[in-house]
Amino acid sequence: MRLPPKLLPLVALLSVAPSAVASSPPARPDILILLADDMGFADLGCYGSEVPTPNIDRLAARGVRFTDFHTCARCSPSRAALLTGRYPQAVGMGHLDTDMGKPGYRGRLDPDAPTLAERLRDAGYDTALAGKWHLGLGEGHRPWDRGFRRSRGLLGGAADYFKPMPARPFGEDGKLLAPEDLPADFYMTDDIAATASRYIATAPADKPLFLYVAFTAPHYPLQAHEADIAPRLADYAKGPAAVRDARFARMKASGLLAADATLAPYRFPEWAKLPPAARASSVRDMATYAAQIVAMDRGVGKILDALEKSGRAGNTLVMFLSDNGATREQHDRGYGPHWATVSNTPFRSFKAHTYRGGTADPLLVVIPGGAPGGARIERSPTHIIDLAPTCLEFAGLAPSPSTDGVSLSARLSDAKAPAAARTLFWEHEGRRGALDSGRKLVSEPGRAWELYDARDTGETRDLAAAEPDAVKRLAGEWREWAAGHRVDPRAAVRR
């Protein structure tokens, strides 16, 4: 019988003296990061959704499910924070991949900011990226320049799922591809999953693997296989208000949200009074969005199966998250603000804003061997800047000296370990935010600060007038943070 490569070191250990076995350090874990694009907090089955996501739910069943995890409100800034452990302005990615003429908004990762891939590569890991990059388009700033030995996918933002080129550049292993280089039956989500599975199957047996899988699903445009769309149509026939209420109820019933959790106010159209054609079009939009998640979940299943087949699954750190909240954008075949509000249940607002609807996202983490005591819910405030130092600690490496994040490894391994006491910060397109353990400060461009109780999940009651000292304290912390992280809100205001 041929043993999986990961079992060969174990067999060798069993042939030596017990004392030698006891003193041998454990093998460094493989690391798998799975990233969704523009998916809301409430879009997974394990987060209260009616969308079937059995494979992603497998991670929740043996891992840690976060309820107060935050990103940077937009795709490129979140990706920069994920791969560096820094706030995005500190590494040149305060906006998208366009140079805005300010140090914190260069549209590409600073060359002197080491990526997670570079750190792990230098420590002996094999490194690979399948999917969307969006951290620099020019030479010297592509994934193969920033630590990934293998890579295949979009270099810029999201694109047509069936024919991404020539509108968007697509690259593989150090070269740009042409439209004819993609197969006739190409579908982005399927290609990303197949690429990731292939990378696992062909990874060097004598090296741990770091695999970053950056799906473009369910970012618009709404495009999915008809076989995935049709079964979802009936789920949305009652309209967005009914679907949102059902998700919120499931979240409370499952314990994901507290019994006194608040739901952001939102005025939905009167569904029954809409013309039948408008209702049918809206239902199909949401069913297509859900189908994109179904396809992603199927791809995640294939990737997890590839891990099992390779023998690596038992010693792999797995993370699944979204890069920001759902988007209200509808101008380019999106599903619009009503369904995006459903996706962001119970939160207020959308992608690119610093209310929770823009920054609060799902995060699932499975540590090597699974969470002690089985699945659990983690409620402490955490941020995407924490993921790189967490991966580094599991790999036995020190965090970068300039890191803004903290490792979650102790908390992941022991629910009783103390959570970090700190304030988290945001800025995007002039929108600002700060969050500590008790209060959330937020403002839109040109508007005064608003203050919310951190337990007010829907951000329903502004406390700014009642608590001016808290506003002053958090606003002062925000200004100090901004000054130390190259934040210039005027630089990234949409022109």
pLDDT tens profile 99-145 = 999 999 999 999 999 999 999 999 999 999 999 999 999 999 999 99
Quote the mean pLDDT of the chain: 93
Query: What whole-number distance in Å separates Cα of residue 9 and Cα of residue 250?
Result: 45
Query: What whole-number distance in Å separates Cα of residue 81 and Cα of residue 269?
Result: 37
What is residue 350's predicted lDDT score, i.e. its pLDDT?
98
Query: What whole-number distance in Å separates Cα of residue 381 and Cα of residue 493?
Result: 27
The tally of domains found in the chain comes to 1
Quote the domain boundaries for residue 117.
28-421
Beta-strand runs (E) in 406-483: 424-428, 431-435, 439-443, 450-453
| b/e code 420-437 from CB counts within 10 Å (16+ = b) | beebbbbbbbbbbbbbbe
Identify the helix (H) or strand (E) that includes residue 473: helix 468-484
User: What are the residues facing 355 on neighbouring strands?
Assistant: none
Mean pLDDT over residues 410-420, rounded? 92
Half-sphere exposure of 439 (CA within 13 A, CB side): 19
Banded pLDDT at 4 (limits 50, 70, 90): very low
Mean pLDDT over residues 300-311, rounded? 98
Q: How far apart are the first and last CA of the chain?
A: 64
In a domain, 240, yes or no: yes
Helix axes 188-201, 276-310, angle to 10 degrees: 10
* pLDDT over 90 (residue 21): no
Give Dmax over CA atoms of the chain in angstroms. Answer: 77
* Single pTM value for the model: 0.94
What is residue 19's predicted lDDT score, i.e. its pLDDT?
35
Query: What whole-number distance in Å separates Cα of residue 84 and Cα of residue 481?
Result: 17
What CATH number should be reported for the domain holding residue 259? 3.40.720.10
The residue ranking higher by pLDDT, 333 or 297, is 297
Residues labelled catalytic: 75, 134
**What tens digit of pLDDT does each residue of 174-231 get?**
999 999 999 999 999 999 999 999 999 999 999 999 999 999 999 999 999 999 999 9
Output the six-digit token pair for 410: 């102790």
Percent of the residues in the chain that have a pLDDT greater than 70, as a whole number: 94
Output the six-digit token pair for 248: 């919120």
What is residue 24's predicted lDDT score, i.e. its pLDDT?
47
In a domain, 347, yes or no: yes
What is residue 14's predicted lDDT score, i.e. its pLDDT?
32
Which ranges constitute the DSSP H helices of 62-206?
A: 75-84, 116-122, 188-201
In a domain, 283, yes or no: yes
Long-range contacts at 197-200 (CB < 8 A, ≥ 24 apart): 197/302, 197/303, 197/305, 197/306, 199/128, 199/130, 199/150, 200/303, 200/306, 200/307, 200/310, 200/312
Banded pLDDT at 78 (limits 50, 70, 90): very high
Query: What whole-number distance in Å separates Cα of residue 38 and Cα of residue 218?
Result: 6
What is residue 372's predicted lDDT score, i.e. its pLDDT?
77
In a domain, 291, yes or no: yes
Banded pLDDT at 25 (limits 50, 70, 90): low
Mean pLDDT over residues 377-388, rounded? 97
Mean pLDDT over residues 16-23, rounded? 36
In a domain, 129, yes or no: yes
What is residue 492's predicted lDDT score, i.e. its pLDDT?
62
Banded pLDDT at 2 (limits 50, 70, 90): very low
Query: What whole-number distance in Å separates Cα of residue 170 and Cα of residue 163?
Result: 11
Residue 406 contacts residue 332 (beta carbons within 8 Å) = no
Query: What whole-number distance in Å separates Cα of residue 454 and Cα of residue 440?
Result: 6
Kindly report whether the peptide bond that precedes residue 362 is cis, defined as omega within 30 degrees of 0.
no
Sheet of 431-435: strand order equals: 424-428, 431-435, 439-443, 450-453
**What tens digit of pLDDT does each residue of 318-349 get?**
999 999 999 998 766 889 999 999 999 999 99
In a domain, 436, yes or no: no
Helix (H, G, I), strand (E, B) or coil at 211: strand
Query: What whole-number distance in Å separates Cα of residue 216 and Cα of residue 120?
Result: 24
Mean pLDDT over residues 254-277, rounded? 96
- If 0-12 CB within 10 Å is exposed, 13-18 middle and 19+ buried, where does residue 155 land? buried
In a domain, 218, yes or no: yes
What is residue 23's predicted lDDT score, i.e. its pLDDT?
39
Compute the CA torsion angle 374, 379, 385, 386 (nearest 10 deg): -40
Query: What whole-number distance in Å separates Cα of residue 307 and Cα of residue 309?
Result: 5
In a domain, 132, yes or no: yes
| b/e code 454-486 from CB counts within 10 Å (16+ = b) | eebbbbeeebbeeeeebbebbbebbeebbeebb
* pLDDT over 80 (residue 495): no
* Number of neighbours of residue 134 by Cβ within 10 angstroms: 27
Banded pLDDT at 493 (limits 50, 70, 90): low
What is residue 332's predicted lDDT score, i.e. its pLDDT?
63
* Number of neighbours of residue 414 by Cβ within 10 angstroms: 11
